[in-house]
Chain A
Amino acid sequence: MNVEDIIKQYNEAIFDTNRDRALKVVRDAVEQGVTPEDAVFKIVLPAMDLMITAVNENFDANLAQHFLTARIADIVTAEMIPKFKQMSEVVGRVVIGTAPGDFHALGKRIVMGCLKARMIDVIDLGVNVPAERFVDEVIAHKAQLIGISALMVHTATGENGCRKVRRILQERGLQDRIKIIVGGAPYRFDHQLYKTVQADAWAEDGITAGKVIADLVKELQR
């Protein structure tokens, strides 16, 4: 079976929210000679990009598919990386958490699964993260980016959330070196809200966030 057929089968399984079938497609492919590198970069990553296209084209893509795409990407990447011929190079590092007062972890979890497959190291700060901690941890881990997830309007827009993270970055002279990305339901209902809260970028959903973060990391490294 060629790689195109494998991608097709894998994507069908993802769109049917069938984790076991998707994992079997990848594992069978590796057994039949597809390299672990190709399993990640030519099957799992294109499936994520296809999901982003589906979202943009208003095709039938939904949270369950995003969740499974990220979950499976996470599992496959963890399985395949030890089998790579060369140690994979981490292309960037991001700290991620939910805004102060916000305990909704799903979006963050989807983003994390996607980032690992893009060879971006993720430091998970958990939920209800104070602004100071976002900045302290981004410095401590030499990360390039802070991801702040918020499901509610007041946690997205509150003075102690993204705005405060921005203020601390400015006070410490770090605003040119460290970018902030935000995501969560309020940003879907107001596409300009990320500017109001002084973030650098936002993403419509967790899968797209993986790509936006990867692009931002590349931009910072130029």
Chain B
Amino acid sequence: MITGMERLVAAMNGTASDRIPVFCNLLDQGARELGISLEKYYAHGEYVAKAQLKMRKKFGHDNVWSLFYVGREAELLGCKKIVFAKDGPPNVEHFVINTYDDIHRLQIPDDVSAHPVFQESLKCLRILRQEVGGKYPICAYITASMTLPAMLMGMDKWMELLLLGPAEVRDELLAKCHDFLVKEVAAYRKAGADVFFYANFFGSTDAVPIKYFMEHSLPWIEKDISAVGTKGIVYFCAQARFNKVIDVVLGRTGIGAYYLSPLADIAEGKRIIAGRALTCGAINDIKLIDWSTEEIRSEVKRLMDAGMPGGKFLFTTAIMPYNIPEENIRTMLEAVYEFGRQGKR
């Protein structure tokens, strides 16, 4: 039986497999799967691993996640309050940085994996590696140097500092976030993660103008990637669009996979990538909450028609909202498995 890892490797190399690889990003759904609250679920790495394995088996997709929730990185850097909801991802309430002095005081731990918060991630990764290591890609979420400050001080304050300065304070924070990223990736790699969603809203032209991207975003992307290497890295802009900069990012960093926004023109993105890397086409999963079976199948087919010709294509979702009915998740995946068969089209 072909594994998810084999499908992914085949897609990256442009060789044949039974179908295209499918990454279904189910996170909060794990709590429902185990019948416990999100707060209890995310307190234990064993729960997250158990639910990830259970959901992968149940739905048949090709990946598992070691990510609990995005705010974990803020916790690793001192965030003391996360707000849990009943039906959605936890939210950072306490910002670590409130003044510029807090930036000077911010300390990056030498060993990220020694942090108590990361211990639970390690437990999760240990189980995932033991159960599906090498067979199904284990995904990790890492936030780029230029985007991590938004979690530490709030997006509005970070935009102000990023765009208006003072430049030396901005650069000090960026350097610290870069240091954290490098250590975090090393810790995840050591623990067995294979695929890294390199999350960078500021790597998108929905966030900044191209001129700004070239002068500021790109140098930090190059610095990040040059430090952590391209192995397993997926260029991901938090669902924002970046077709206009794919060519330069690919040329300058060599990143091998690009997660296009659900709002992006996938055929255009694929044309720009031109077989040099894997194209990840994402469905607009907010619409999965209400779409009918016919609408889901039609949208999956549209994405496949745009992305599959020429191969090197992976179907994916955004971070699936909690309240998507399970039946709709199944409908989407069954359509992908049907339309994504290779050799059929």
**A residues lining the B interface (CB < 8 Å):** 15-17, 19, 60, 62-65, 67-68, 71, 101-106, 109, 128, 152-155, 157-158, 185-186, 188-190, 193, 196
**B-chain residues with CB within 8 Å of residue A105 when the two chains form the complex:** 154-156
Q: A64-B209, A154-B87 are in contact. List 20 more A-B contacts (CB 8 A).
A: A19-B164, A63-B206, A63-B207, A64-B207, A71-B160, A71-B164, A103-B93, A104-B154, A106-B159, A109-B156, A152-B89, A153-B321, A154-B321, A154-B323, A155-B85, A157-B289, A158-B87, A186-B286, A190-B284, A190-B287
Within 8 A of A (CB), among B71-128: 83, 85, 87-89, 91-93
Closest 8 CB pairs of A and B: A154-B88, A153-B321, A106-B156, A106-B155, A189-B286, A64-B208, A154-B87, A109-B156
Within 8 A of A (CB), among B318-345: 321-323
Flag whether B263 is at the interface (Cβ < 8 A).
yes
* Nearest CB of B to A212, in Å: 20
Flag whether B210 is at the interface (Cβ < 8 A).
yes
Within 8 A of A (CB), among B221-245: 239, 244
* Nearest CB of B to A199, in Å: 16
Flag whether B211 is at the interface (Cβ < 8 A).
yes
* Nearest CB of B to A207, in Å: 14
User: Given the interface contacts A154-B87, A154-B323, does A60 sit within 8 Å of B209 by beta carbon?
Assistant: yes
Q: Which of B88, B92, B163, B207 contacts A103 (CB 8 A)?
A: B92
**B-chain residues with CB within 8 Å of residue A158 when the two chains form the complex:** 85, 87-88
A68 B163 Cβ-Cβ under 8 A = yes
Can you give 18 A-B contacts (C-beta < 8 A)? A17-B209, A62-B206, A62-B208, A63-B207, A64-B209, A102-B91, A103-B93, A128-B93, A152-B88, A152-B91, A153-B289, A153-B322, A158-B87, A158-B88, A188-B263, A189-B239, A189-B263, A196-B290
Q: Which of B83, B85, B163 contacts A19 (CB 8 A)?
A: B163
B321 A17 Cβ-Cβ under 8 A = no
Q: Which of A68, A101, A154 contacts B322 (CB 8 A)?
A: A154
A17 B154 Cβ-Cβ under 8 A = no
Chain B residue at minimal CB-CB distance from A158: B87
